């Protein structure tokens, strides 16, 4: 009995010692900033691969230019969810989100950057664009060719939740815009069209990547409404033999914006670094990485080089069709808005 007791004592002491050591080796992340610079990029869901590649390239460029070692940390999630986290205190230096309204919300609610942030960088602070396309299973078994095929009975459509995902809001507006233009501006028809479409949606994931894995890996649904970059990425990852992209007759020009958050960068003393990080997106090398990761580059030269990847199609903008993101958000996606009125979960 005594022996066992002794053993227990030793065991406990050892364990507590290990715990104390582990706790002591923990250094608060804040102290690391002084030695080499650190930047946190809070981004939306499908940019995982883009910013991993871009950040590595930028770190190299910055080291060559200034001699400073820079580490860029990255967080990905549904665009609206990420904006929410930044508003609640996620300590981002730059945000690269799915749509302008999510950065507006950060400016409005948390005052981390000025309201006119979108004018600070070229092209309305959107260094790349994309659009919304349809991804179907190989051979297109349900013969889906355009938006109006998505409202047919028995078609199962996968798209994320517009409350949390940026891509989902672009998807919604693309479908709405298609019907609105087809019916010559009949709001009522557009509303019915989109309501019917959402009745075909069995599951709403919180972000675009979640929807892609639902469609691609869990094998749910006949068609995925997706960012063009996300659809091209899925083809690259899973091979062209399993899925194909259907380019609709018309879609929306998606302009995912970027911004630095003045209040946070001032505190971290990273304002210059954050600006440089975003400006470099517009450089030839930045644009090349963008195109290579299936986002449409702004640069004409790079775009010409990748013309085969990105098909031409008529694109309308949110400003033209809906009078900007603030009014679109208010009308369609805020609490009690059109989406809340038309969406009923599939029983």
List of residues contacting another protein (CB under 8 A): 5, 8, 16, 18-19, 22-23, 25-26, 28-30, 40, 42, 45, 48-49, 73-77, 85, 87-91, 109-110, 209-210, 213, 237, 267
Backbone φ/ψ region at 139: left (φ over 0), alpha (ψ -120 to 50), beta: left
Q: How far is the CB of 172 from another protein (least distance, A)?
A: 22
Closer residue to another protein (CB): 11 or 309: 11
Tell me the closest approach of the beta carbon of residue 152 to another protein, in angstroms: 30
Of the two residues 88 and 335, which places its CB atom closer to another protein in the complex?
Answer: 88
Give dist(CA 327, CA 318) in Å, integer: 10
Taking the complex as a whole, the smallest distance from the CB of residue 170 to another protein amounts, in Å, to 19
Cβ nearer to another protein, comparing 216 with 281: 216
Kindly tell me the burial class for residue 339, based on how many C-beta atoms sit within 10 Å of its own C-beta (0-12, 13-18, 19 or more). buried
On the CB side of 139, how many CA atoms lie within 13 Å of its CA? 1
The CA–CA distances, whole Å, from 103 to 42, 80, 112, 137, 222 equal 11, 9, 10, 35, 33
| CA distances in angstroms from 254 to 52, 226, 227, 229, 296, listed in the order given | 21, 11, 9, 11, 10
**238 or 301: whose CB is closer to another protein?**
238
- In DSSP terms, 37 is beta-bridged to 70
CB of 109 to another protein, least distance (A): 8
Least distance (Å) between residue 15 CB and another protein: 8
CB nearer another protein, residue 90 or residue 195 = 90
- For the bound state, the minimum distance from the C-beta of residue 215 to another protein, rounded and expressed in Å, comes to 13
User: 22 vs 304, which CB is nearer to another protein?
Assistant: 22
Nearer to another protein, 85 or 313 (CB): 85
Identify which of residues 155 and 245 has a Cβ nearer to another protein in the complex: 245
Would you give the distance in Å from CA 68 to the centre of its chain? 29
166 with 317: CB under 8 angstroms?
Answer: no
129 by DSSP, 3-state: which? strand
By the 10 Å C-beta count (0-12 exposed, 13-18 middle, 19+ buried), 332 is classed as buried
CB of 140 to another protein, least distance (A): 23
Please report how close the Cβ of residue 321 comes to another protein at its closest, in angstroms: 31
Query: Measured between alpha carbons, how far is residue 184 from residues 178, 188, 342 in Å?
Result: 10, 11, 21
Residues 6+ apart with CB under 8 A from 68: 36, 37, 62, 273
> Rounded to whole angstroms, how far apart are CA atoms 246 and 248?
6
| Residue 167 C-beta: closest distance to another protein, Å | 14
Distances in Å between the Cα of 32 and the Cα atoms of 3, 20, 36, 70, 74 are 47, 22, 7, 11, 16
DSSP, res 294: T
Task: State which H helix or E strand residue 268 sits in.
Answer: helix 262-268
């Amino acid at each position: 009995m005594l022996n066992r007791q002794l053993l227990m004592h030793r065991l406990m002491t050892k364990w507590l010692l290990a715990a104390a050591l582990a706790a002591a080796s923990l250094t608060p992340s804040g102290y690391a900033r002084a030695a080499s610079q650190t930047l946190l990029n809070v981004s939306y869901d499908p940019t995982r691969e883009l910013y991993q590649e871009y950040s590595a390239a930028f770190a190299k460029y910055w080291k060559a230019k200034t001699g400073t070692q820079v580490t860029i940390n990255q967080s990905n999630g549904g665009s609206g969810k990420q904006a929410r986290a930044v508003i609640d205190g996620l300590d981002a230096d730059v945000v690269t989100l799915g749509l302008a309204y999510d950065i507006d919300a950060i400016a409005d609610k948390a005052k981390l950057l000025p309201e006119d942030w979108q004018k600070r960088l070229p092209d309305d602070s959107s260094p790349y664009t994309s659009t919304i396309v349809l991804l179907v299973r190989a051979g297109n078994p349900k013969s889906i060719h355009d938006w109006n095929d998505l409202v047919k009975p028995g078609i199962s459509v996968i798209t994320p939740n517009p409350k949390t995902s940026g891509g989902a809001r672009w998807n919604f507006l693309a479908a709405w815009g298609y019907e609105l233009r087809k019916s010559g501006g009949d709001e009522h028809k557009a509303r019915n069209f989109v309501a019917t479409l959402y009745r075909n949606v069995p599951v709403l994931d919180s972000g675009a990547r979640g929807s892609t894995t639902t469609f691609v890996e869990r094998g749910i649904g006949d068609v995925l409404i997706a960012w063009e970059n996300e659809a091209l990425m899925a083809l690259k990852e899973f091979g062209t033999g399993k899925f194909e992209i259907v380019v609709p007759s018309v879609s929306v020009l998606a302009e995912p914006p970027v911004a630095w958050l003045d209040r946070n960068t001032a505190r971290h003393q990273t304002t210059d670094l954050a600006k440089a990080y975003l400006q470099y997106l517009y450089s030839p090398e930045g644009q090349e990485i963008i195109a290579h990761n299936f986002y449409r580059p702004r640069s004409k030269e790079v775009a010409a080089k990748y013309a085969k990847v990105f098909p031409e199609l008529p694109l309308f903008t949110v400003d033209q069709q809906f009078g900007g993101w603030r009014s679109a958000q208010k009308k369609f996606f805020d609490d009690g808005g059109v989406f809340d009125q038309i969406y009923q979960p599939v029983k």
